[in-house]
Amino acid sequence: MPPADPPGAADRRAGGAPPRPPPPGRERPPRPPEPNRICGPAPVRALFLRRPEAVLRLFHTPERRAMAGPLCAHLARTRRPFREVPPEELARIAGTLHHGGIVAIARPRLAEPLPGHALPADMPAAPVLPVLDGIGNPHNLGAIARSAAFFGCRALLLSDDPRQADLSDAAFRTAEGGLEHLRVLRARSLPVLLKGLRPRFLTLAAVATGGVPPAAVPRDRPIALVLGNEEAGVAPRTLEACEARVTLAGSGRVESLNVSAAAAVLLHALGA
Protein backbone atom coordinates (compact mmCIF):
# COMPACT_ATOMS: atom_id res chain seq x y z
CA MET A 1 0.00 0.00 0.00
CA PRO A 2 1.58 3.37 -0.98
CA PRO A 3 2.31 5.85 1.79
CA ALA A 4 -0.28 8.52 2.43
CA ASP A 5 0.27 11.92 0.87
CA PRO A 6 1.62 14.56 3.24
CA PRO A 7 -0.85 17.29 4.23
CA GLY A 8 -1.51 19.73 1.38
CA ALA A 9 -0.04 17.50 -1.34
CA ALA A 10 -3.32 17.14 -3.25
CA ASP A 11 -3.77 20.90 -3.26
CA ARG A 12 -0.24 21.42 -4.61
CA ARG A 13 -0.80 18.86 -7.38
CA ALA A 14 -3.96 20.74 -8.36
CA GLY A 15 -1.91 23.90 -8.74
CA GLY A 16 -2.96 25.51 -5.48
CA ALA A 17 -2.00 25.55 -1.84
CA PRO A 18 -4.06 24.74 1.23
CA PRO A 19 -5.79 27.80 2.68
CA ARG A 20 -3.85 29.46 5.44
CA PRO A 21 -5.41 31.20 8.41
CA PRO A 22 -4.84 34.96 8.49
CA PRO A 23 -1.84 36.03 10.59
CA PRO A 24 -2.56 37.20 14.16
CA GLY A 25 -4.03 40.68 14.26
CA ARG A 26 -5.13 40.51 10.60
CA GLU A 27 -8.39 38.50 10.90
CA ARG A 28 -10.76 38.79 7.98
CA PRO A 29 -13.45 41.43 8.57
CA PRO A 30 -16.99 40.07 8.99
CA ARG A 31 -19.07 39.93 5.85
CA PRO A 32 -21.53 42.81 5.57
CA PRO A 33 -25.19 41.79 5.89
CA GLU A 34 -27.07 41.00 2.70
CA PRO A 35 -29.78 43.41 1.51
CA ASN A 36 -33.30 42.63 2.71
CA ARG A 37 -35.87 41.23 0.30
CA ILE A 38 -39.14 42.84 1.36
CA CYS A 39 -41.97 40.77 -0.12
CA GLY A 40 -45.67 41.49 -0.45
CA PRO A 41 -47.91 44.53 -0.93
CA ALA A 42 -48.26 45.56 2.73
CA PRO A 43 -44.55 45.24 3.65
CA VAL A 44 -43.48 47.07 0.48
CA ARG A 45 -46.00 49.90 1.05
CA ALA A 46 -44.81 50.30 4.64
CA LEU A 47 -41.18 50.33 3.51
CA PHE A 48 -41.83 53.13 1.00
CA LEU A 49 -43.83 55.02 3.63
CA ARG A 50 -41.32 54.77 6.47
CA ARG A 51 -37.90 54.20 4.81
CA PRO A 52 -38.08 55.20 1.14
CA GLU A 53 -34.38 56.04 1.11
CA ALA A 54 -33.57 52.39 1.97
CA VAL A 55 -35.09 51.00 -1.24
CA LEU A 56 -32.41 49.91 -3.71
CA ARG A 57 -34.61 48.47 -6.48
CA LEU A 58 -38.10 47.11 -7.06
CA PHE A 59 -39.51 44.13 -8.97
CA HIS A 60 -43.15 43.30 -9.61
CA THR A 61 -45.37 41.07 -11.72
CA PRO A 62 -47.82 42.41 -14.33
CA GLU A 63 -50.67 41.78 -11.86
CA ARG A 64 -49.16 44.36 -9.45
CA ARG A 65 -48.66 47.02 -12.12
CA ALA A 66 -51.32 49.37 -10.69
CA MET A 67 -49.84 49.27 -7.19
CA ALA A 68 -46.24 49.46 -8.41
CA GLY A 69 -46.82 52.45 -10.71
CA PRO A 70 -46.45 55.26 -8.13
CA LEU A 71 -43.56 53.45 -6.45
CA CYS A 72 -41.75 53.06 -9.77
CA ALA A 73 -42.35 56.74 -10.52
CA HIS A 74 -40.67 57.64 -7.23
CA LEU A 75 -37.72 55.39 -8.04
CA ALA A 76 -37.44 56.91 -11.51
CA ARG A 77 -37.22 60.39 -9.99
CA THR A 78 -34.48 59.23 -7.64
CA ARG A 79 -32.68 57.22 -10.34
CA ARG A 80 -33.11 53.79 -8.84
CA PRO A 81 -33.96 50.71 -10.93
CA PHE A 82 -37.27 48.86 -11.15
CA ARG A 83 -38.56 46.14 -13.46
CA GLU A 84 -41.67 44.14 -14.29
CA VAL A 85 -40.93 40.40 -14.32
CA PRO A 86 -42.90 37.13 -14.67
CA PRO A 87 -43.89 35.33 -11.45
CA GLU A 88 -41.26 32.61 -11.79
CA GLU A 89 -38.47 35.17 -12.04
CA LEU A 90 -39.87 37.08 -9.08
CA ALA A 91 -39.84 33.87 -7.03
CA ARG A 92 -36.13 33.49 -7.83
CA ILE A 93 -35.43 37.11 -6.84
CA ALA A 94 -37.50 36.82 -3.66
CA GLY A 95 -36.15 33.43 -2.64
CA THR A 96 -39.72 32.33 -1.94
CA LEU A 97 -42.97 31.59 -3.75
CA HIS A 98 -44.74 33.74 -1.14
CA HIS A 99 -43.75 37.06 -2.66
CA GLY A 100 -47.20 38.57 -3.21
CA GLY A 101 -46.29 39.80 -6.66
CA ILE A 102 -43.94 42.59 -5.56
CA VAL A 103 -40.46 42.64 -3.99
CA ALA A 104 -38.31 45.55 -2.87
CA ILE A 105 -34.59 45.06 -2.36
CA ALA A 106 -33.63 47.27 0.57
CA ARG A 107 -30.56 48.21 2.56
CA PRO A 108 -30.11 45.67 5.36
CA ARG A 109 -31.74 46.45 8.67
CA LEU A 110 -30.90 44.68 11.92
CA ALA A 111 -31.84 45.40 15.52
CA GLU A 112 -29.98 48.37 17.00
CA PRO A 113 -27.51 47.14 19.65
CA LEU A 114 -27.82 49.12 22.86
CA PRO A 115 -24.46 50.61 23.89
CA GLY A 116 -25.24 50.25 27.61
CA HIS A 117 -27.78 48.71 29.94
CA ALA A 118 -30.57 51.24 29.53
CA LEU A 119 -33.16 52.16 26.96
CA PRO A 120 -32.37 55.20 24.80
CA ALA A 121 -33.77 58.46 26.11
CA ASP A 122 -35.47 59.19 22.79
CA MET A 123 -37.30 55.86 22.57
CA PRO A 124 -40.98 56.51 21.76
CA ALA A 125 -43.34 55.83 24.65
CA ALA A 126 -46.24 53.36 24.61
CA PRO A 127 -48.22 51.46 27.25
CA VAL A 128 -46.48 48.14 26.45
CA LEU A 129 -42.95 47.32 25.31
CA PRO A 130 -42.73 43.73 23.99
CA VAL A 131 -39.47 42.01 24.97
CA LEU A 132 -38.40 38.84 23.15
CA ASP A 133 -36.20 36.52 25.21
CA GLY A 134 -34.67 33.89 22.94
CA ILE A 135 -37.46 33.64 20.38
CA GLY A 136 -35.66 31.85 17.57
CA ASN A 137 -38.29 31.54 14.84
CA PRO A 138 -38.26 34.60 12.55
CA HIS A 139 -41.91 33.96 11.68
CA ASN A 140 -42.81 34.27 15.36
CA LEU A 141 -40.77 37.47 15.58
CA GLY A 142 -42.61 38.87 12.56
CA ALA A 143 -46.03 37.84 13.85
CA ILE A 144 -45.35 39.47 17.22
CA ALA A 145 -44.18 42.64 15.47
CA ARG A 146 -47.38 42.67 13.41
CA SER A 147 -49.52 42.44 16.57
CA ALA A 148 -47.36 44.99 18.38
CA ALA A 149 -47.77 47.56 15.62
CA PHE A 150 -51.50 46.81 15.35
CA PHE A 151 -52.02 47.47 19.07
CA GLY A 152 -49.95 50.66 19.11
CA CYS A 153 -46.56 49.58 20.43
CA ARG A 154 -43.70 51.76 19.29
CA ALA A 155 -40.66 49.56 19.93
CA LEU A 156 -39.53 45.95 20.23
CA LEU A 157 -36.67 44.78 22.44
CA LEU A 158 -34.66 41.64 21.60
CA SER A 159 -32.55 39.76 24.12
CA ASP A 160 -28.85 38.92 23.88
CA ASP A 161 -29.71 35.20 23.97
CA PRO A 162 -27.86 33.46 21.09
CA ARG A 163 -31.12 31.72 20.15
CA GLN A 164 -32.80 35.07 19.54
CA ALA A 165 -33.74 35.71 15.90
CA ASP A 166 -32.93 39.11 14.37
CA LEU A 167 -34.66 40.96 11.56
CA SER A 168 -34.73 38.93 8.35
CA ASP A 169 -36.61 38.52 5.09
CA ALA A 170 -38.99 36.03 6.75
CA ALA A 171 -39.63 38.35 9.70
CA PHE A 172 -40.39 41.31 7.42
CA ARG A 173 -42.73 39.18 5.30
CA THR A 174 -44.65 37.81 8.31
CA ALA A 175 -44.86 41.22 9.99
CA GLU A 176 -46.93 42.58 7.06
CA GLY A 177 -45.36 46.02 7.43
CA GLY A 178 -45.41 46.04 11.25
CA LEU A 179 -41.63 46.15 11.63
CA GLU A 180 -41.50 49.46 9.76
CA HIS A 181 -43.51 51.04 12.59
CA LEU A 182 -41.34 49.72 15.42
CA ARG A 183 -37.93 50.71 16.68
CA VAL A 184 -36.13 47.39 17.18
CA LEU A 185 -33.39 47.25 19.82
CA ARG A 186 -31.10 44.50 21.12
CA ALA A 187 -30.04 44.33 24.78
CA ARG A 188 -26.46 43.70 25.87
CA SER A 189 -27.70 41.80 28.94
CA LEU A 190 -31.46 41.47 29.23
CA PRO A 191 -31.55 40.64 32.98
CA VAL A 192 -29.40 43.67 33.79
CA LEU A 193 -31.51 45.93 31.59
CA LEU A 194 -34.78 44.67 33.10
CA LYS A 195 -33.56 45.33 36.64
CA GLY A 196 -32.63 48.85 35.59
CA LEU A 197 -36.11 49.52 34.18
CA ARG A 198 -37.70 49.60 37.63
CA PRO A 199 -39.60 51.63 38.72
CA ARG A 200 -40.16 53.27 35.32
CA PHE A 201 -41.65 50.01 33.91
CA LEU A 202 -43.46 47.03 35.37
CA THR A 203 -41.29 44.14 34.16
CA LEU A 204 -43.78 41.34 33.49
CA ALA A 205 -42.88 37.81 32.36
CA ALA A 206 -45.41 35.74 30.44
CA VAL A 207 -45.39 32.20 31.88
CA ALA A 208 -47.49 29.10 31.19
CA THR A 209 -48.48 28.63 34.84
CA GLY A 210 -48.20 30.47 38.13
CA GLY A 211 -48.80 34.03 36.99
CA VAL A 212 -51.69 36.39 37.65
CA PRO A 213 -54.41 36.88 35.03
CA PRO A 214 -54.03 39.96 32.78
CA ALA A 215 -56.91 41.73 34.57
CA ALA A 216 -54.92 41.66 37.81
CA VAL A 217 -51.82 43.34 36.35
CA PRO A 218 -51.40 46.94 37.64
CA ARG A 219 -51.62 49.68 35.00
CA ASP A 220 -49.88 52.44 36.97
CA ARG A 221 -46.84 52.50 34.62
CA PRO A 222 -45.78 51.15 31.23
CA ILE A 223 -45.28 47.40 31.01
CA ALA A 224 -42.20 45.60 29.66
CA LEU A 225 -43.83 42.33 28.58
CA VAL A 226 -41.25 39.52 28.38
CA LEU A 227 -42.05 36.65 26.02
CA GLY A 228 -39.83 33.58 26.17
CA ASN A 229 -38.31 30.96 23.89
CA GLU A 230 -40.73 28.74 21.97
CA GLU A 231 -39.66 25.56 23.82
CA ALA A 232 -38.01 26.63 27.08
CA GLY A 233 -39.95 29.81 27.89
CA VAL A 234 -38.40 32.79 29.66
CA ALA A 235 -34.80 32.08 30.73
CA PRO A 236 -34.31 31.63 34.51
CA ARG A 237 -32.06 34.71 34.92
CA THR A 238 -34.52 36.81 32.96
CA LEU A 239 -37.41 35.50 35.04
CA GLU A 240 -35.59 36.43 38.25
CA ALA A 241 -35.13 39.97 36.95
CA CYS A 242 -38.87 40.44 36.35
CA GLU A 243 -41.08 42.02 38.97
CA ALA A 244 -44.25 40.07 38.15
CA ARG A 245 -45.62 37.19 36.08
CA VAL A 246 -48.75 36.86 33.96
CA THR A 247 -50.53 33.71 32.75
CA LEU A 248 -53.32 33.19 30.24
CA ALA A 249 -55.86 30.67 31.49
CA GLY A 250 -57.07 28.16 28.92
CA SER A 251 -59.32 25.13 28.74
CA GLY A 252 -56.53 22.77 29.77
CA ARG A 253 -56.84 20.74 26.60
CA VAL A 254 -53.48 22.01 25.35
CA GLU A 255 -50.63 23.25 27.49
CA SER A 256 -50.16 26.71 25.99
CA LEU A 257 -50.54 28.98 23.00
CA ASN A 258 -47.91 29.60 20.36
CA VAL A 259 -45.83 32.53 21.59
CA SER A 260 -47.01 34.85 18.83
CA ALA A 261 -50.67 34.04 19.59
CA ALA A 262 -50.07 34.58 23.31
CA ALA A 263 -48.36 37.89 22.54
CA ALA A 264 -51.37 39.13 20.58
CA VAL A 265 -53.79 38.21 23.38
CA LEU A 266 -51.62 39.79 26.06
CA LEU A 267 -50.95 42.96 24.09
CA HIS A 268 -54.69 43.45 23.69
CA ALA A 269 -55.47 42.55 27.30
CA LEU A 270 -52.78 44.80 28.75
CA GLY A 271 -53.94 47.83 26.85
CA ALA A 272 -51.22 48.24 24.20
Q: What is the tens place of the pLDDT at every residue in 42-77?
A: 999 999 999 999 999 999 999 999 999 999 999 999
> What is residue 12's predicted lDDT score, i.e. its pLDDT?
42
Query: Band of the pLDDT at 29, cuts 50, 70, 90?
Result: confident
What residue spans define the domains of the chain?
36-106, 112-269
Q: What's the rounded mean pLDDT across residues 122-148?
A: 96
Report residue 18's pLDDT band, with 50, 70 and 90 as the boundaries.
Answer: low
Pick among 3.20.20.10, 3.40.50.1000, 1.10.8.290, 3.30.1330.30: CATH of 36-106: 3.30.1330.30
Verdict on whether the full-model pTM lies above 0.75:
yes
Q: Which of 26-30, 35-39, 232-236, 248-252 has the lowest mean pLDDT?
A: 26-30
What letter represents residue 119's amino acid? L
What digits encode the pLDDT tens for the residues 248-270? 998 888 878 999 999 999 999 99
Give the CA distances from residue 212 to residues 208, 221, 224, 248, 268, in Å, rounded to whole numbers and listed in that order: 11, 17, 15, 8, 16
Q: What is the pLDDT of residue 251?
A: 84
Q: What is the mean pLDDT of residues 122-150?
A: 97
Work out the number of other CB atoms within 10 angstroms of the CB of residue 25: 5
**Residue 194 CB neighbour total at 10 angstroms:** 28
**pLDDT score of 110:** 97
CATH superfamily of 112-269: SPOUT methyltransferase, trefoil knot domain (3.40.1280.10)
Query: What DSSP character marks residue 52?
Result: G
H-run or E-run covering 228:
strand 223-228
Non-local (6+) Cβ contacts of 199 within 8 A are: 221
